[in-house]
Every structure is written in C-alpha cells, then in structure tokens.
Amino acid sequence: MYRHNLTGQKQMKNEGIIERAAQTTISVLLFLGAFFWVGGILQIVLFVAAFFVGMFAIVGFCPLYAIIGKNSSCSIEEMTNGRIMFLFVYAIVLFAIGSYGSIFFTKKIFMEDFNMMNKDYKQTLFETGQEKRSQSMENYDKLVYSYAIFENKYLAYHPYSLRSDESFNADLKKIEAIISGAREGVYNGDLKAMHLEFEKVRPITQDILKRNGFSMLSIALVDFHDSMEKVLDKANAKDAQGVIAAYDEASVKLLAVEQEANDSEIQTIRKNLDELLQFAKENKSEQMPKKSEELKSSFVKVYLTRG
C-alpha cells in the first residue's frame, strides 16, 4: 500500500522549478488583482483562481500537462530545499513590490477619475454662478454623466487607500442627491440658488480626500496637468499664438498648486511656464519645443514624488 501511494504521489508531480516559478508568479498576480484592483464577483473569482494556482505550485502539479501528456521542462526530482526556499522568498518579494505598486497606482487612478468628474463639477459651479442658462445646462448634463460613471465605479470598488472609510459610500450618495436635486433649478429655476446648492458638494469631497490621506497638492497637480498639456501641444507645434491663448488657464491652475506648496521645485515649473510664454510673445517658435520639454520634466519630477 505504501509503495502504491508513493508511486501515485510521483505521478501527481509533473513540474519542475520553472513551472512552479511561473505558477507562483501567476498566483501572486491574481491575488494582487483581487485584493487591490477589483471588487464584487470578479474579486471572488480571482481569489479562488489565485488559491488553486498557488496550491498547484506547492504540490508541483500542472493540470494542463496532465491533459496534453507533456513532461516537465526539468526533472521533478530537482526540487531541493534551496529551490523551495527560493520560490518562497520570490513570492514574498513579488507580493511586496506588487502591493506597493498597486497602492500607489490605484490611488493615482482614483485621483485622475476624481479630477475628470470634478472638472465638470467646477465648470457647472462657475456657469451657475455667472447665471448663464445654456452653459449651465450643458455643463450640468456633463456632470450628471461623469458623476454617474465615477459613483458606479467606486460604490462597487474601493481602492486600498479608501477601504477603511466607512462614510465613503454615504458621502457619494449625498453628492448624488445634491446633483440630481438641482436639475429643475438648473433648467428652469434660480441659477444663483443652484450655485449655492452646488457649493455644498465641495466640503464633502474635500473631507473625503483629507480623511483618506489625499493631499490637496496632488489634486491641484492633476488639475494643472490637463491645462499644461494644452500649452505643451501648442509649443511642440511651434504655435506661438496657441501658447499665449492656452497660458492663462494653465497659469490659474498652477496658482492653485502654488497655494498648497511653493518650494523650489514648484517655482521651477512656474519659471518654465512663464519662459515659454515669453518665447511665444517674442515669436521664438524654434525654442518652444525644447522649453516645453523642460516644463514637462519639471512637472513630472514633482508629480511622481508628491502627486
């Protein structure tokens, strides 16, 4: 009986170090995807898949090899204690690096999604304050659409940075109520009153960001980035008048950044932006692409470390 079981165990093992390393990698990536990147049913599916692939790596078995009758790429007898320790350390290191990267990038993606929605909010807020009916209606419709996308995504999925926030979903619902409740007023009512109603959204969003460790500097940087890109596009096209036309919006957005921080790195961004404007005014079109690279480089340096 013992001999039969031993033979059965050997037959179950059809993998060497290469296949086990590949399965370890896949298992860790599936786990990271489930834990950091998705929610709902898909999260459960990825967790289950990560578990089974990880178990196959531990026992040294590949179902696909068993089905197609393929042999291991190297001997299954070569799984020494040293190689087992290597796989264990490899999994830990991969998990640690993947976790850090996932936290970093999911936080940035949330900020980008927030700023896309917030752009429509701020434009609606501005137009209602100016009592411009048609522009208010147009931007309000954009806000309803962009907020619905934002809310639906983040009600179902919470990035790691927001996972401990028990008030997050309730706050999203409060914002939804304010936006949906303003429809009649925007279309037919008192725009000044609607402007004051939309103002109620700002403290809610700021509270969400602050209590979850999002700096207002990072919000301002992302907001500035979109306007800066307009300047860069015109500069790279050697369009002096286009740079001049795009400068004012970028300058205002950079001012918001400067209100949060104005150290030497932020001052370098301002210097490059203003010098690019000066080149445009002096019609030095040939020098604008190089200066645009300097502007982008100075921004990226700040954004990657503090954005």
pLDDT band, residue 301 (cuts 50/70/90): confident
Residue 248 confidence (pLDDT) above 60: yes
The encoded tokens of residue 122 equal: 């701020």
Say which amino acid occupies 100: Y
Rg, Å, the chain Cα set: 27
* Average pLDDT, integer, range 18-24: 88
AA letter at 134: S
Tell me the mean pLDDT in the region 209-237. Answer: 87
Distance CA 186, CA 183 (A): 5
What's the number of CA atoms in the CB half-sphere (13 Å) around residue 74? 11
Predicted local confidence at residue 9, as pLDDT: 44
Cβ neighbours around 47 below 10 Å, total: 15
What the block records as the tokens of 108 is: 């940035």
- Give residue-wise pLDDT tens across range 139-164: 999 999 999 999 999 999 999 999 99
Q: How far apart are CA 241 and CA 239, in angstroms?
A: 6
Q: Exposure pattern of 209-225 as b/e (b: 16+ CB <10 Å)?
A: beebebeebbbbbbbbb
Cα gap 46→35, rounded to integer Å: 9
| 43-75 residue pLDDT tens | 999 999 999 999 988 887 777 776 666 655 554
CB 229 within 8 A of CB 243: no
pLDDT at 220: 84
Q: CB under 8 Å to 115, separation ≥6 — which residues? A: 219, 222, 223, 226
CB 136, CB 191: distance < 8 Å: yes
Question: Residue 80: what pLDDT?
Answer: 74
**Token output for 211:** 């209590």
Q: What is the pLDDT of residues 76-130, one digit of tens each?
A: 556 678 888 999 999 999 999 999 999 999 998 998 899 889 889 989 988 998 8
CATH architecture of 103-211: Up-down Bundle (1.20)
Residue pair 162/168 in contact by the 8 Å Cβ criterion: yes
CATH architecture label of 216-306: Up-down Bundle (1.20)
What count of Cα atoms within 13 Å lies in the side-chain half-sphere of residue 265?
Answer: 17
How far is residue 201's CA from residue 177's CA, in Å, rounded to a whole number? 10
The answer to which of 21-25, 83-87, 133-137, 232-236 has the lowest mean pLDDT is 83-87
- Cα–Cα distance between 70 and 198 in angstroms, integer? 64
DSSP letter at 37 equals: I
The per-residue pLDDT for 33 is 97
